[in-house]
């Protein structure tokens, strides 16, 4: 694509309109904030963070947690796809091994003995959620993960499951099928 | 006071000058350039002691501020490595040092034996005004000549640094 | 060399240093506040020492204005880990921040920041070649940046160093040429005489006699202090911070402070050269002070004017986008130098005509 | 001790000697060039001292000219060095021996 550049007129060659516009825009915002006390934070979520919790919009990619299914069983089947796909190698799964404990639900061969996510490494890209065939791991809305030590920031299976909670609404493949359907009619006609 | 300052400035100027040409710690041209800058600054101090304020300021402005920055710029641009320690050509070095020392000795002897100049009691104030008047009246022709030298140098540099176009 | 002179000089140096450093700290705060307001934010409004909340009314107010923020910033700069990367050239790496800081502080020495206090002239060094001294010192300012770029021994700082060398040398020329008409008018290089020449009515200020000169000086000042729209040596988006990419802790803080000190120095120069220094053309404020109170008032007037310019420089940073490098060079060499030369010729011609009448 | 003309001249001579030493001993063209600058500066010092102790400004005028010419000379010289470096990838005098036989 070739951008046509219009020849500048005399005033534009002296940067005068640019100066004027620049001052007008900055002054507008400056005045608004200083004299009327209106800030972008007020307008979007009603205030500043620690006092006013931040409103998390749908589609936000927060911390990835493991979820349980409607009957309270672990959904993860230790296929290790997420471990494989994780770009910063934040996920580490210990499979049960040949003589390990059996899965605690039907329709599953095995489940992870240990499932760790290092939240210091995680980049919240969402590839694990996308790749998971069992829809066992979801990026949720947590955005402030804090801890005092590095060890503390490695979340183990119990913690991830506890934080993930029960997702009764999530049915296997249902959401992906919906998405695919939505794609077909994507630019909404009309 | 003035003699103490003279001693300090002279010692530092000579020390930095020595570090410029024969730095025992580093052969990098950057170190040389920086010590040369320091030499210039100390020399400017000596000029101030001689009441040549204008020359002192110009010394800092032109030498330290422009010429040496140009040097640094070129050194950085060429990304020079440190000078390797060479196998000393003993005869060459000895001859060089000898000639320098001989020259210095002759000069020093001449200076020490000379009769003090006529106005050994200095009164002159290096006023910028008088200097300007002199430049533009008595020395007008050389002044214009120097400006032409600058112009020629400018054109020459542009020609030299232009890449050959095919 | 009498001891009284030395003692008064020392007092003046310490006072000027203290004032400049305080102004540096608080201009950082102003910059943060102004930028925040322009970007619909509030800026620093939380930092407070433990006792601030017990002062009724004033404490929370000061906290909201961020008055304690510079202190916290300074503490943070000192306490952070001072990291020296393995690949740097160590001597230059440690030298560069100090060298960057010195010239801007030295420039302040010749600026007359007030008229008289008692029998003392309110200028640290009343030099006859004041302006030449200033330009000499300002031209040394480039060393800090060049050395930082060279010492870091990695590509972004290096590019920043190269850029800043070319930029500062180029704009020094137009800066120097732009003030020559002033000295044609005044007939002296002493900055005290320049201020004295601007007394008597608003239109005695050189801004009204040399608007073109002021304009060029202002733009060149932006370029010399590496402020937007000419902050190519730093250029966060292109050079990830340029010459101070590899620096941390107090060394980084020194570069940061050097930039603001340079802003203050250059504002002081502009006020002295074009805006009448410590004078105000009413209430008899343009005559050297006879009383201590008047002397203090003159210093306040000078500081007030400097603050106006600081605000201008800060504001412009958020107003204009960065120039491209070739545009910068084009502006410096092909626009400003001819314009400044023309300004000199016209001024000299007019002065010669007036003198011949 | 009062400082007279002779002291300044001695310092100047010593600086000149240092510059000459640099020109003779060093083999990097840039450093040799710095040695030349040092010699020019030594001459400047002598001239300013003469000017001061003879109570006239001719010496300072001469220094002014020297500084100007030095600036021109440095710009041309550095341009030459850069041009040379582009061809030879070196600024060492030993590498520039095409005219030697």
Hey, where are the domains in chain D?
Answer: 28-93
Cα(C44)–Cα(C63) distance, integer angstroms: 9
Return the pLDDT at A171. 61
> Using an 8 Å Cβ cutoff, are C103 and C264 in contact?
no
High-pLDDT (> 90) share of chain C, %: 1
Mean pLDDT, rounded, for B104-115: 82
Which residue from C92, C133, C162 is facing B57, i.e. has the nearest CB?
A: C133
Q: Please indicate whether chains C and D are in contact, defined as at least 3 beta carbon pairs under 8 Å.
A: no
Per-position DSSP letters for C201-216, written without gaps between them: SGGGSHHHH-HHHHHH
Q: Please indicate whether chains A and C are in contact, defined as at least 3 beta carbon pairs under 8 Å.
A: yes
Return the pLDDT at A85. 92
Residue D5: pLDDT over 70: yes
High-pLDDT (> 90) share of chain B, %: 5
Provide the domain limits for residue C241.
83-356
* C277: enclosing H helix or E strand: none
- pLDDT-based confidence at residue B148 (cuts at 50, 70, 90): very high
- Please give the mean pLDDT across all residues of chain A: 81
Report chain B residues whose CB lies below 8 A from the CB of C143. Answer: 37, 69, 72
Residue B115: pLDDT over 70: no
- pLDDT-based confidence at residue B152 (cuts at 50, 70, 90): very high
Hey, where are the domains in chain A?
Answer: 11-43, 64-171
Provide the domain limits for residue B50.
1-82
Residue of C nearest to B2 (CA): C1
Which residue from A18, A22, A34 is facing C37, i.e. has the nearest CB?
A: A34
- pLDDT-based confidence at residue B165 (cuts at 50, 70, 90): low
CA-wise closest residue to D80 among D43, D15, D41, D30 = D30
Residue B158: pLDDT over 80: yes
Which residue from B103, B111, B118 is facing D6, i.e. has the nearest CB?
A: B111
Return the pLDDT at C346. 92
Report chain C residues whose CB lies below 8 A from the CB of A22. Answer: 319-320
Judge: B37–C143 Cβ closer than 8 Å, yes or no: yes
CA distance B140 to chain D (A): 11
Mean pLDDT, rounded, for D22-43: 86
Q: Residue C3 domain-assigned? A: no
> Using an 8 Å Cβ cutoff, are C172 and C224 in contact?
yes
CA-wise closest residue to A68 among A162, A166, A138 = A166
CA-wise closest residue to C274 among C313, C307, C229, C305 = C305
Interface test with B, best of D43, D69, D75, D95 (most B CBs within 10 A): D75
Beta strands in A20-160 (DSSP E): 64-66, 91-94, 114-118, 137-139, 154-155
Classify residue B120 as exposed, middle or buried by CB count within 10 Å of its CB (0-12, 13-18, 19+).
middle
Residues 6+ apart with CB under 8 A from D29: D81, D84, D91, D92, D93, D96
Residues 106-165 in C contacting B (C-alpha not used; CB under 8 Å): 127-129, 132-133, 135-140, 142-143, 146-147, 149-150, 158, 161-162, 165
> Using an 8 Å Cβ cutoff, are C260 and C24 in contact?
yes
Choose the CATH number for A64-171 among 3.40.190.90, 2.60.40.10, 3.30.70.3270, 3.40.50.2300: 3.30.70.3270
Tokens of residue C136, six digits? 């000499």
How many domains is chain C built from? 2
Judge: B69–C143 Cβ closer than 8 Å, yes or no: yes
C101 with C250, same domain: the answer is yes
Q: Residue C104 domain-assigned? A: yes
Return the pLDDT at C342. 92
Mean pLDDT, rounded, for B88-111: 82
- Please give the mean pLDDT across all residues of chain C: 83
Q: Is D84 on the interface with B (CB under 8 A)?
A: no
Tokens of residue C100, six digits? 């960057």
3-state SS, one letter per residue, for A46-66: CCCCCCCCCCCCCCCCCCEEE
Mean pLDDT, rounded, for A99-112: 76
Query: Which residue has 């990098």 as its token pair?
Result: B28
pLDDT < 70: residue spans in chain C: 1, 118, 283-286, 289
Q: Residue B101 domain-assigned? A: no
Cα(D68)–Cα(C51) distance, integer angstroms: 62
C97 with C201, same domain: the answer is yes
Cα(A95)–Cα(C92) distance, integer angstroms: 54
> Using an 8 Å Cβ cutoff, are C226 and C317 in contact?
no
C26 with C106, same domain: the answer is no
Mean pLDDT, rounded, for B7-32: 83
Return the pLDDT at A173. 61
CA-wise closest residue to B56 among C180, C104, D12, C127 = C127
How many other CB atoms are found less than 10 A from the CB of residue C324? Answer: 10
CB pairs under 8 A between A and C: 38
CATH of domain D28-93: 1.10.287.3510
Report chain D residues whose CB lies below 8 A from the CB of B41. Answer: none
Cα(C40)–Cα(D2) distance, integer angstroms: 68
Question: C116: which DSSP letter?
Answer: E
Complex ipTM: 0.75
C98 with C31, same domain: the answer is no
Q: Decide: helix, strand or coil at residue C23.
A: helix
Return the pLDDT at A13. 77
B16: left (phi over 0), alpha (psi -120 to 50) or beta: alpha
C98 with C28, same domain: the answer is no
CA-wise closest residue to C282 among C204, C201, C352, C226 = C201
CA-wise closest residue to C264 among C309, C215, C217 = C309
Report chain A residues whose CB lies below 8 A from the CB of C41. Answer: 33, 39-41
* Residue A25 half-sphere exposure toward CB, CA atoms < 13 A: 13
Which residue from A18, A30, A40 is facing C320, i.e. has the nearest CB?
A: A18
> Using an 8 Å Cβ cutoff, are B53 and B83 in contact?
no
Residue D21: pLDDT over 60: yes
Q: Using one digit for the tens of pLDDT, what is the confidence trace for A17-56?
A: 888 888 888 888 888 888 877 777 777 777 777 778 877 8
Judge: B58–C150 Cβ closer than 8 Å, yes or no: no
CA-to-CA dists, residue C352 to A111, B147, C126, C176, C349, angstroms: 96, 22, 29, 22, 5
- pLDDT-based confidence at residue A87 (cuts at 50, 70, 90): very high
C186 with C55, same domain: the answer is no
Residue of C nearest to B77 (CA): C162
Q: Residue C5 domain-assigned? A: no
Judge: A26–C320 Cβ closer than 8 Å, yes or no: no
Residue A174: pLDDT over 70: no
- pLDDT-based confidence at residue A86 (cuts at 50, 70, 90): very high
Which residue from A25, A26, A39 is facing C42, i.e. has the nearest CB?
A: A39
Judge: B116–D5 Cβ closer than 8 Å, yes or no: yes
CA distance B166 to chain D (A): 16
Judge: C136–B60 Cβ closer than 8 Å, yes or no: yes
Return the pLDDT at A61. 87
Q: Using one digit for the tens of pLDDT, what is the confidence trace for C144-171?
A: 888 888 888 888 888 888 888 888 888 8
How many domains is chain B built from? 1
Residue of B nearest to D92 (CA): B83
CB pairs under 8 A between B and C: 69
């Amino acid at each position: 694509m070739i951008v046509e550049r219009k020849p500048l007129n005399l005033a534009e060659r002296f940067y005068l309109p640019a100066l004027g516009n620049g001052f007008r825009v900055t002054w507008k915002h400056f005045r608004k904030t200083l004299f009327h006390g209106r800030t972008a934070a007020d307008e979007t979520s009603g205030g500043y963070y620690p006092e006013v919790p931040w409103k998390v919009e749908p589609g936000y990619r927060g911390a990835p947690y493991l979820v349980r299914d409607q009957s309270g069983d672990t959904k993860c089947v230790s296929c290790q796809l997420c471990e494989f796909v994780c770009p910063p190698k934040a996920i580490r799964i210990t499979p049960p091994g040949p003589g390990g404990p059996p899965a605690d639900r039907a329709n599953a061969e095995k489940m992870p003995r240990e499932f760790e996510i290092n939240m210091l490494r995680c980049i919240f890209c969402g590839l694990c959620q996308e790749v998971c065939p069992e829809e066992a791991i979801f990026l949720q809305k947590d955005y402030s993960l804090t801890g005092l030590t590095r060890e503390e920031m490695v979340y183990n299976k119990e913690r991830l499951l506890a934080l993930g909670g029960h997702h009764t609404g999530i049915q296997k493949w249902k959401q992906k099928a919906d998405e695919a359907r939505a794609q077909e009619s994507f630019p909404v006609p009309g | 006071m003035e003699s103490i300052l003279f001693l300090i400035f002279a010692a530092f100027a000579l020390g930095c000058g020595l570090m410029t040409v024969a730095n025992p710690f580093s052969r990098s041209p950057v170190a040389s350039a920086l010590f040369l800058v320091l030499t210039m600054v100390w020399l400017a101090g000596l000029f101030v002691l001689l009441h040549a304020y204008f020359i002192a300021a110009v010394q800092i402005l032109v030498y330290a501020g422009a010429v040496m920055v140009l040097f640094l710029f070129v050194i950085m641009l060429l990304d020079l490595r440190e000078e390797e320690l060479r196998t000393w050509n003993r005869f060459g070095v000895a001859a060089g040092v000898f000639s320098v020392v001989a020259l210095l000795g002759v000069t020093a002897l001449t200076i020490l034996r000379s009769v003090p100049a006529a106005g050994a009691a200095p009164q002159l104030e290096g006023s910028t005004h008088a200097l300007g008047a002199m430049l533009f009246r008595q020395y007008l022709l050389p002044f214009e000549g120097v400006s032409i030298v600058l112009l020629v140098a400018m054109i020459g540099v542009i020609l030299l640094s232009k890449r050959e176009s095919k | 060399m009498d001891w009284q002179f030395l003692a008064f000089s020392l007092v003046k140096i310490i006072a000027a240093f203290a004032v400049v450093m305080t102004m540096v700290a608080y201009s950082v705060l102003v910059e943060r506040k102004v930028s925040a307001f322009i970007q619909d934010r509030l800026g620093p409004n939380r930092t407070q020492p433990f006792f601030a909340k017990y002062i009724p009314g004033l404490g929370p107010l000061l906290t909201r204005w961020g008055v304690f923020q510079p202190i916290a910033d300074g503490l943070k700069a000192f306490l952070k880990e001072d990291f020296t990367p393995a690949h740097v050239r160590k001597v230059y790496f440690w030298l560069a921040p100090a060298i960057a800081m010195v010239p801007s502080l030295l420039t302040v020495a010749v600026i007359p920041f007030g008229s008289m206090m008692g029998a003392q002239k309110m200028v640290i060094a009343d030099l006859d070649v004041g302006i030449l001294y200033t330009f000499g010192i300002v031209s040394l300012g480039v060393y800090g940046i060049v050395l930082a770029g060279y010492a870091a021994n990695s590509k972004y700082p290096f590019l920043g160093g190269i850029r800043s060398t070319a930029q500062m040398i180029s704009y020094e020329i137009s800066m120097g040429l732009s003030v020559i008409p002033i000295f044609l008018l005044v007939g002296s290089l002493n900055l005290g005489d320049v201020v004295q020449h601007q007394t008597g009515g608003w239109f005695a200020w050189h801004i009204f006699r040399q608007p073109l000169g002021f304009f060029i000086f202002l733009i060149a000042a932006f370029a010399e202090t590496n402020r937007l729209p000419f902050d190519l040596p730093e250029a966060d988006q292109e050079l990830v911070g340029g010459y101070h990419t590899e620096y941390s802790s107090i060394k980084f803080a020194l570069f940061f402070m050097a930039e603001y000190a340079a802003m203050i120095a250059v504002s002081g120069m502009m006020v002295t050269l074009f805006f009448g220094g410590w004078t105000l053309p009413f209430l008899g404020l343009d005559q050297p002070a006879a009383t201590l109170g008047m002397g203090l008032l003159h210093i306040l007037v000078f500081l007030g004017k400097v603050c106006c310019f600081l605000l201008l420089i800060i504001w412009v940073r958020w107003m204009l986008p960065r120039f491209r490098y070739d545009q910068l060079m084009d502006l410096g060499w092909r626009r400003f130098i001819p314009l400044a030369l023309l300004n000199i010729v016209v001024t000299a011609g007019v002065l010669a005509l007036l003198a011949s009448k | 001790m009062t400082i007279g003309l002779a002291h300044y001249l001695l310092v100047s001579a010593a600086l000149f000697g240092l510059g000459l030493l640099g020109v003779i001993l060093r083999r990097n063209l840039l450093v040799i060039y710095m040695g030349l600058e040092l010699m020019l500066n030594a001459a400047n010092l002598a001239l300013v001292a003469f000017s001061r102790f003879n109570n006239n400004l001719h010496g300072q005028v001469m220094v002014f000219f020297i500084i100007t010419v030095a600036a021109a000379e440095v710009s041309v010289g550095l341009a030459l060095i850069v041009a040379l470096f582009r061809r030879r990838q070196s600024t060492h005098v030993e590498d520039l021996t095409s005219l030697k036989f």
